[in-house]
Structure 1
Amino acid sequence: MTASPVPADIVSLGDYERHARERLPASIWSYIAGAGADGLTRGWNREAFDRLKLEGRVLADMYGAHTAIELFGQTLEIPVIVAPVAFHKLAHPDGELATALGAAATGAVMTVSTQASTTIEDIGAAAQGPLWFQLYMQTRREDTLALLHRAEAAGCKAIMVTADAPVNGLRNEEQRAGFRLPEGIGAVNLKGMPGPALRAGPGESPVFKGLLDAAPTWRDLEWLRGRTKLPLLVKGVMSRHDARLALETGVDGIVVSNHGGRVLDTLPATIEALPAIADELGGRLPVLLDGGVRRGTDILKALALGANAVMIGQPILHGLAVAGAVGVAHILNILRAELEVAMALTGRPRLATIDRSVIATC
């Protein structure tokens, strides 16, 4: 396992992004940082957090303050989960193994992607901390079940179905850069599993005649619910109507996510969609959020508006690119320190005391 020292001028996640961009080849950066179409949703994810103001409080009793949370039977030291991101080896040769080590050093859950560049088995064998598995449902149900059973055998403690990318978004930055996966890096967990069969003729749509033929539906999610005893989450919920359907389908949690703006451009920011979804569920399901989280104050705002925890994806690759496992651990420790300071200065000693009154109305 290789690691580089963290540059002395890195004190925030933004610093990691700057250093990662300087170190990575332009084509790889276009993939890691890429967004759908014009990148509007990607930008809105950040801007929406920046527009929210906090109400500072003084002289609060902070005795016994902590950031721990109980989620799906697991105690997390901070309400931050490493999100599923494909191909960690694009950022560092140790790939997902380094991510797992860095996450474990801080007690954080790592969510392994179906499109990981390291096998589920190797990650599970090396992991010293808790793992979840993100599942893309496959064209054939037997392949979906094979991935599920491999994740269970590797020790994953929850299954997260990504539902918002039945087809890939058109990422123009990536297209312009001519990105291709380097030799030796690929979705190793999908070997031998066929994708959709294209049946479009000349002038016909490959999206509507092929790519969407096996796109999962709520019926498929209900089928999967009956195939595992692990907590089951659905990722990609941006509508209160879909939140209601998720509840009715019997899932154990949802992730409010617009895929980081990488699929459908001009979706609203996740933090803007969150309050209505949280209100619809009324605390009956845990709600996670990703998209644009870069500061501890962002975590505080997300919890105030109804999330139980947040997920961090792209910054993990920035940390990997700069300093391997050490960079991942440092990213998570920075967020923890920032969250603790934000809680102290808004008078919130525990996560349960964070509510919408944290958000300033002036």
Structure 2
Amino acid sequence: MTQPIVNLQDHEQAAQAALSEAAWAYFSGGAADEITLRHNVAAWQSLRLSPRVLQDLRGGHTRCRLLGRDWPMPLLVAPMAYQRWAHADGESGMALAAAAQGCGMVLSHQTSTPMHDVAALVASDAERGPLWFQLYWLADRGAMHELLAQVEAAGFEALVLTVDAPVHGVRDRERRHGMPLPEGVKAVHWKAPDNSPAKTHAQGLCAGLADAAPTWADVQWLIGQTRLPVLLKGITHPQDAVQALNLGAAGVIVSNHGGRVLDTLPATAELLPRIVQAVRQHHPQAPVLVDGGIRRGTDVFKALALGADAALIGRPALYGLAHAGARGAAHVLRLLRDEFETTMALTGCAHLQDIDIDRLWPLQTV
């Protein structure tokens, strides 16, 4: 008899059984020895909760405020590429799942479903979370202008610029299996860099590919080209967070790319406190979000206790999608939501504002 799926680990096991070896290597793998990949999860688990009892929980809720708007839940689905490789429902199914659970969605630049189709499914849903679009820097500014116009026209509410992956990470598992995308699955809005023989033999780091890496000047240019707020994703250093906000970024996302780009980085749970401290000192109203290794509602709670305004969930939502489509992704998000609310009640927090560092056992003793 098949065991019921009751947690995110169950969804992960079901996804591994449903996916090909190549797809599993791509979606679940990390960079090099996958030390950061594993440590992302372990770091949240190592934090201990410190509940208060007999608190007044009447009228409690999970509503949060991001970029000047109120949302049902401080949880968003992180950007992930090629979701139709995982399941035919793809990004459309993921967007519907997120909206059904009051969670946000950050659509990947490497989406395998057109952005307009995804946005049209959920944009009018009053109970959904934020609808944002993630992009990578395009050295061709004309192409970037065109992409920005599409994103704005589709109805996305913010841009998330990924800044920690100017070149591809070293992913052993992915290199062993390759990326045999199924027929009809491709990144529909992605224009690959020019890797012609003349380019691949160019001088410079990574055969010259690093020459096209974005700089702070490019970030400043991008912010000036769009009416949408811009958040920078991939921030791991407090000084970078402050510099981004000084240039006009609307917020930052603390992320090590899920351990997929540079191995042996600290876990995001370790990075978060210093970045929050720097942001609150210089830009106290700017939102700080975090992703990487979140597997339980207690992890979402811990992220907020460390100062984050919201958290993003990546692989687990993809695993739910992989074996059960939109319903599976929705179940993952529902589990996280239920666990988060249970944690709030059991630690004596009726509202998000009640969640602070005092709800964690002193960090130096862990």
Does residue 171 (structure 1) correspond to residue 171 (structure 2)? The answer is yes
SS for the counterpart of 1:254 is strand
SS for the counterpart of 2:307 is coil
Give the AA of the match of 1:235. K
| 2:249 corresponds to | 251
Contact 1:139 1:194 in 2 (8 A): no
Using a 3 Å threshold, how does the CA distance of structure 1 residues 263 and 205 change in structure 2: closer, same or farther? farther
CA distance in 1, matches of 2:13, 2:268: 24
What per-residue deviation string (whole Å, max 9, x for no partner) do you get for residues 232-282 of structure 1?
100000001101111111100100000000000001000100000000011
Using a 3 Å threshold, how does the CA distance of structure 1 residues 197 and 25 change in structure 2: closer, same or farther? closer
| 1:134 corresponds to | 134
> Which is worse superposed, 247-256 or 74-83?
74-83
Which of 39, 52, 55 is 2:50 aligned to?
A: 55
Contact 2:290 2:303 in 1 (8 A): yes
| 1:351 corresponds to | 352
Quote how far apart the aligned CAs of 1:180 are: 2.6
Using a 3 Å threshold, how does the CA distance of structure 1 residues 201 and 329 change in structure 2: closer, same or farther? closer
Quote how far apart the aligned CAs of 1:208 are: 4.1
Quote how far apart the aligned CAs of 1:72 are: 1.3
Which of 101, 114, 117 is 1:122 aligned to?
A: 117
Contact 1:197 1:210 in 2 (8 A): no
Which of 255, 273, 281 is 2:271 aligned to?
A: 273
Superposition map of 1:1-362 within 5 A: 9-127=4-122, 128=125, 129=128, 130-190=130-190, 193-197=191-195, 199=198, 207-282=205-280, 283-361=284-362
So what's the TM-score if we normalise by structure 2? 0.93
What per-residue deviation string (whole Å, max 9, x for no partner) do you get for residues 171-222 of structure 1?
00111223332232111112xx3514564676x7674442112111111110
CA distance in 2, matches of 1:336, 1:137: 33
CA distance in 2, matches of 1:163, 1:287: 15
CA distance in 2, matches of 1:148, 1:123: 16
Quote how far apart the aligned CAs of 1:79 are: 0.6
Give the AA of the match of 2:302. K
Structure 1 unaligned spans of 5+ = 1-6
SS for the counterpart of 2:211 is coil
CA distance in 1, matches of 2:45, 2:311: 16
So what's the TM-score if we normalise by structure 1? 0.94
SS for the counterpart of 2:286 is coil
Contact 2:50 2:361 in 1 (8 A): yes
Give the AA of the match of 1:170. V
Using a 3 Å threshold, how does the CA distance of structure 1 residues 206 and 197 change in structure 2: closer, same or farther? farther
Contact 1:54 1:360 in 2 (8 A): yes
Structure 2 unaligned spans of 5+ = none
| 1:4 corresponds to | none
Give the AA of the match of 2:108. S
Using a 3 Å threshold, how does the CA distance of structure 1 residues 201 and 143 change in structure 2: closer, same or farther? closer
Contact 2:161 2:232 in 1 (8 A): yes
CA distance in 2, matches of 1:350, 1:317: 29
Give the AA of the match of 1:180. P
SS for the counterpart of 2:261 is coil
Contact 1:196 1:211 in 2 (8 A): no
SS for the counterpart of 1:298 is helix
Give the AA of the match of 1:317. L
Provide the aligned length of Structure 1 versus Structure 2.
353
Contact 1:196 1:210 in 2 (8 A): no
RMSD of the alignment, in Å? 1.6
Contact 1:196 1:214 in 2 (8 A): no
Quote how far apart the aligned CAs of 1:111 are: 0.8
SS for the counterpart of 1:236 is strand
Calculate percent identity across the aligned residue pairs.
48
SS for the counterpart of 2:161 is strand
Give the AA of the match of 1:225. I
